[in-house]
Structure 1
């Protein structure tokens, strides 16, 4: 039986890795997910075969409850709410690890007679898992707009309080590792870590939320790997390390894409305002040029190259299918259509890629930021659909801007720019977009899906 379990674990984490390889492109992503899911099912079976495994009714109840809640929630969630679901489900993983650490403490009488590495790994998992759970819940609340998207702080006391609760969690953990067995200590670890998770994420604004989701995901993976080490569970170690490593790499790449350091993000983000920001910095209103769907269609119909720049506004309006129809019409007229994707467009990593893949947009037409920026000088029309901060020229021209230095999609290098937005509201960073006032920019106000549908009808009539 021991040999069989070991073989099943090897098969399971091999499928994890093979499934992850499939996530490198939309054509193989679904297959990759199914392969990884099969690997997880095998890992669960192997775990249930471990000697001494009991409480079968509780295990069955947990599986049934998880399935009843998780499957319908995942099937019904809208693409606009996918970041919230990712944050919430990721937090559940961290919470599960924290609870397992608590159970392990109780089951071993405070890690008595256990090797020191088991106590250290389990306590590390408890701290990081609890931070991830509560931090992810705050991220969910901000993305769902249950909580304000702007930073919530206690001013100058924020960082000292963060340090106090983190030191408290570590102190309780050290006391346990040193031999203390009071259950109040492990509760103290979980509560103090929870406080740290809450107080770290609350001050982070909406502009940094995609990076926060990725960071918390990495933390959940690391806590799972640590718990796997404490439980001597190979599959949990490998799966946790894959999630932790990939999440850490993604977090670093996204932070670089925003020209922000991870410590700066954790110290307190910026943004979250969604109020009007059509005026100049001194309060003076600056004019913008409006356009119509008919004029937009004519302008694109006589173009040689059109670059679509999707953002969260496209996700909110669910306009991706209308955009694909518009692109097909333009391409039938011999016009080249490309899509410029910023690494942090939307509210989670890969948000725009997933939306466009849902509309069967050819993956070859999606251009990452560096490649897209080389295309803009040869672009006749850049069609910006709900993207805001990631197209703001202030990131390159205004040293006083909070996003100064952030790499952007340089749509202002195009011959003309058309921006589809409901109004003049700011993006996640809460600052005015200088692109709206560029003489080459025209604003097409309204719901993105309805606006694109009108453009499609006008194109059909040309």
Structure 2
């Protein structure tokens, strides 16, 4: 039986890795998810076959509750709310690890007679899992707008408080590992780690949320791997390390895409505030408005149109009507491409997911490094709700908070049309210089309605 279980684990690990490889592109993403899910199913079966697994009735009850809660939630969630769902599900994983660590503490009477590595791994998992759970819930609250997207800080006390809570959690862990078996010690550790998760994420502004989600995901994976080490469960170790490693790589890529260090992001205090002018006297500046009719005419006589999607497109759920517009343009012989910034939206790959749902061909999705060289040959850049990722101040204004951040260089296009509800700032909380460019026209209104009007005008031409 031991050999059979080991073989099942090896098969499941291979499916995990093969499934993860499928997530590198929209065409193979669904298949990759299914493959990884089958691998997880096999891993669960192997774990349940382990001798002395426990109360089967409670296990079945837990699985049933998970299915009843998880499946309807996943089916009903809107694509625009997917970042919140990812944050919430990630947090649940961290919370589960923290609870398992607590149970392990109770069943071993404070890790009495357990090897030192078991206590250390379990306590590490408890701290990181609790941080991930509570931090993910704060991220969910910010994304769902239950909590303000602005940085919520304690001012100069913020970093000392963070350090104090972290030290408290570590001290409690050391006391427990040294032989302390009072349950209040473990409860105190979980509470301290939970407070740490809250106070670390609250000061982080909305502009950094994609990085925060990725970072918390990596932390959940690391906590699961540590708990697997404590429980001698190979599945938890391997799956946790895969999640931790991939999440860490993605976090680093997201931070680079924003030209910000991970410590600077964790320090918080950026994004989500009131619009701040990035330069000039601060006086109101004129912008040029346009209409759906003029926009349709301008695109109808273009050779190349590049659509730049952002969170505004997601909120309006405009991806399908955008695809319809693109088909009409392509029928007129116009080349259409989509410019994708790594941190556009509220989570990594947010725009790719939305456009894939609308059956946009994968070949038309252009990453930032690829599309930036094409803007100079672009007749019309249609910006739909993207703000900070198109702001030229990142290249021209050393005094801007986003200076040095790689952006989509839409201002190099022959003309730019921006679809927005108004002149509000993006999540970075700063004014967008693109809006005042002589080549830019603003089409105000709901993105879905505006693109729908453009579609009707294109049909009439």
Query: Does the TM-score normalized on the shorter chain lie above 0.5?
Result: yes
Q: Give 3-state SS (helix, strand or coil) of 2:452's partner.
A: helix
Q: Give 3-state SS (helix, strand or coil) of 1:357's partner.
A: helix
Aligned mates of 2:13, 2:185 — CA distance in 1: 34
Aligned mates of 2:269, 2:211 — CA distance in 1: 10
Q: Give 3-state SS (helix, strand or coil) of 1:114's partner.
A: coil
Name the counterpart of 2:32: 32
Q: Does 1:412 align with 2:411?
A: yes
Name whichever of 240-249 and 280-289 sits farther off: 280-289
Which structure 1 residue ranges, 5 or more long, are not aligned?
Answer: none
Aligned mates of 1:281, 1:202 — CA distance in 2: 31
Render the CA deviation track for 1:337-380: whole Å, top value 9, x for unaligned.
01000000000000000000001101111111011110000000
Are the counterparts in 2 of residues 277 and 424 from structure 1 also a CA contact under 8 Å?
no
Q: Does 1:118 align with 2:118?
A: yes
Which aligned pairs between 1:161-310 and structure 2 lie closer than 5 A? 161-273=161-273, 282-310=281-309
How far did residue 269 of structure 1 move?
3.6
Are the counterparts in 1 of residues 275 and 429 from structure 2 also a CA contact under 8 Å?
no
Which aligned pairs between 1:77-92 and structure 2 lie closer than 5 A? 77-92=77-92
How far did residue 232 of structure 1 move?
0.8
Aligned mates of 2:406, 2:279 — CA distance in 1: 23
Are the counterparts in 2 of residues 279 and 285 from structure 1 also a CA contact under 8 Å?
no
Name whichever of 420-429 and 184-193 sits farther off: 184-193
Aligned mates of 1:281, 1:423 — CA distance in 2: 20
Name the counterpart of 2:316: 317
Aligned mates of 1:186, 1:276 — CA distance in 2: 44
Aligned mates of 1:125, 1:20 — CA distance in 2: 24
Taking only aligned residues, the RMSD between alpha carbons, in angstroms, comes to 1.2
How far did residue 280 of structure 1 move?
7.1
Q: Give 3-state SS (helix, strand or coil) of 2:83's partner.
A: helix
Name the counterpart of 1:400: 399
How far did residue 59 of structure 1 move?
1.0
TM-score, length-scaled by structure 1: 0.98
Name the counterpart of 2:51: 51
Render the CA deviation track for 1:93-141: whole Å, top value 9, x for unaligned.
0000000000001111111111111111111100000000000000000
How far did residue 392 of structure 1 move?
0.4
Render the CA deviation track for 1:171-197: whole Å, top value 9, x for unaligned.
111111112211111111111111111
How far did residue 3 of structure 1 move?
1.2
Structure 1 segments (4+ residues) deviating >6 Å: 276-280
Name whichever of 61-70 and 175-184 sits farther off: 175-184
Aligned mates of 1:297, 1:71 — CA distance in 2: 42
Aligned mates of 1:437, 1:277 — CA distance in 2: 15
Aligned mates of 1:32, 1:256 — CA distance in 2: 26
Q: Give 3-state SS (helix, strand or coil) of 1:444's partner.
A: strand
Name the counterpart of 2:109: 109
Q: Give 3-state SS (helix, strand or coil) of 2:366's partner.
A: strand
Are the counterparts in 1 of residues 123 and 173 from structure 2 also a CA contact under 8 Å?
yes
Name the counterpart of 2:348: 349
Aligned mates of 2:417, 2:441 — CA distance in 1: 5
Are the counterparts in 2 of residues 293 and 444 from structure 1 also a CA contact under 8 Å?
yes
Give the direction of change, closer, same or farther, for the CA distance of 1:337–1:249 in structure 2 (3 Å limit).
same
Q: Give 3-state SS (helix, strand or coil) of 1:337's partner.
A: strand
Give the direction of change, closer, same or farther, for the CA distance of 1:338–1:167 in structure 2 (3 Å limit).
same
Are the counterparts in 1 of residues 279 and 397 from structure 2 also a CA contact under 8 Å?
no
Are the counterparts in 2 of residues 278 and 424 from structure 1 also a CA contact under 8 Å?
no
How far did residue 277 of structure 1 move?
6.7
Aligned mates of 2:346, 2:129 — CA distance in 1: 23
Aligned mates of 2:317, 2:150 — CA distance in 1: 25
Q: Give 3-state SS (helix, strand or coil) of 2:32's partner.
A: helix
How far did residue 57 of structure 1 move?
1.6
Which aligned pairs between 1:308-457 and structure 2 lie closer than 5 A? 308-457=307-456
Between the two proteins, the alignment pairs up a number of residues equal to 461
How far did residue 460 of structure 1 move?
1.0
Render the CA deviation track for 1:64-101: whole Å, top value 9, x for unaligned.
11111110001000111000000000000000000000
Are the counterparts in 2 of residues 298 and 459 from structure 1 also a CA contact under 8 Å?
yes
How far did residue 282 of structure 1 move?
3.5
Aligned mates of 1:281, 1:271 — CA distance in 2: 20
Name the counterpart of 1:129: 129
